[in-house]
Amino acid sequence: MKSLFISMGILSILTSCFVGKSKKVDPSTVQKTNSSIYDIQILSLNGKDTIQFSKFKGKYIVVVNTASECGYTPQYKDLQEFHTKFKDSGVVVIGCPCNQFGEQEPGTPDQIGAFCQKNYGVTFTLTEKIDVKGDKQHPLYQWLTKKSNNGAGDFEVKWNFNKFVISPEGQLLYYFGSSTKPGDADFLNVFKKS
């Protein structure tokens, strides 16, 4: 029994290292920067259409790095339900396919789109497949993860399905790790206060 509790404790520590802990940004520590989320553009999943974040001024933006072959992939269903519930209340969900964690997003854009539609009925915005860390980190994630850009804090994307919430004024508000689902109270409370 003792070894079971030790094993569970080690698993808990490893899981928290993998998925990251949720963090609310303290508004009193936010610094002014010359960078804005609204300056960022990214290609859509089809690689042709440009998603301009400036079009989302006045709305909450939820950015999630996604993958089709991950233990957290069922969160696509949760994200779709969240999108359906809040899309008319000024909330935008943007999924960013990424193959950097366990190579769990190996598909082509067509394969990713078909998988998301067939299995989860995804209608929220999906971007091109990007890097969310490292030398080829997309400018979107450079903004989300670096205090010098977002003014709020430095964050590390540790696994698939990390969630960043940006306020209607373009301020980074929250970072949620992989284990926080879009239907969890901590996550939903961010939007119920608006």
Write the DSSP string, 42-64.
EEBTTSSSEEEGGGGTTSEEEEE
Residue among 166, 116, 122, 176 at smallest CA distance from 140: 166
- What 3-state DSSP class applies to 176? strand
Q: Calculate helix-pair angle for 75-86, 109-120, nearest 10 degrees.
A: 70
One of 70, 96, 98, 116 is an active-site residue; which one? Answer: 70
Give pairs for 185-188: CB < 8 Å, separation 24+.
Answer: 186/22, 187/163, 188/82
Catalytic-residue membership of 17: no
Cα–Cα distance measured from residue 5 to residue 190, given in angstroms and rounded to the nearest whole number: 34
Question: Where in the sequence numbering do the catalytic residues fall?
Answer: 70
